[in-house]
């Protein structure tokens, strides 16, 4: 089983940018934790962070040829604007779970609408960086049930 974890713009600043909102864990710390969880679950993961919408779309679309079974995605600011990411997620037919570190539904009005979530099987938000782990575990469980 192979799951790809995709992170959108500014997440390379995790641990520095607004720690009162996003916490103090770095994206590298999240990656290391997920690699440990992946070993425990006996699955493979890949990890990408990009500030480029096109690169994120390319990563989603190449998931088919790369044999990806599931996607965990934090589209970050693209959550609220990217029809292209929505369409890519919908087009590949690979189950995806959307993750947000903060609870987007309790934030500014413009952050409360996700245009990407309707292309996903679920959304986890407001649990800090732990949400990544829960999304990875949920995706692994979902995929096992599908097989």
* pLDDT the model gives residue 62: 98
* pLDDT the model gives residue 141: 98
| CATH code for the structural domain at 2-146 | 3.40.50.9100
Q: Where are the domains of the chain?
A: 2-146
Which active-site residues does the annotation give? 22, 100
How large is the angle between the packed helices 130-146 and 27-41, nearest 10 degrees? 30
Report, as ranges of residue numbers, the positions in the chain whose pLDDT lies below 50. Answer: none
* pLDDT the model gives residue 144: 96
pLDDT tens digit sequence for 38-51: 999 999 999 999 99
Nearest to 51 by CA among 96, 93, 10, 105: 10
Nearest to 126 by CA among 105, 140, 141, 143: 105
């Amino acid at each position: 089983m192979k799951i790809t974890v995709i992170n959108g713009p500014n997440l390379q600043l995790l641990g520095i940018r607004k720690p009162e909102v996003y916490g103090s864990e770095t994206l590298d710390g999240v990656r290391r934790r997920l690699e440990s969880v992946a070993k425990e679950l006996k699955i493979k993961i890949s990890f990408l962070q990009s500030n480029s919408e096109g690169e994120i779309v390319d990563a989603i679309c190449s998931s088919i040829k790369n044999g990806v079974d599931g996607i965990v995605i934090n589209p970050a600011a693209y959550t609220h604007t990217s029809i292209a990411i929505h369409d890519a997620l919908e087009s590949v037919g690979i189950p995806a779970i959307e993750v947000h570190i903060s609870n987007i539904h309790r934030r500014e009005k413009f952050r409360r609408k996700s245009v990407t979530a309707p292309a996903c099987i679920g959304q986890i938000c407001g649990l800090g960086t732990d949400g990544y782990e829960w999304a990875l575990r949920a995706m692994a469980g979902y995929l096992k049930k599908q097989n």
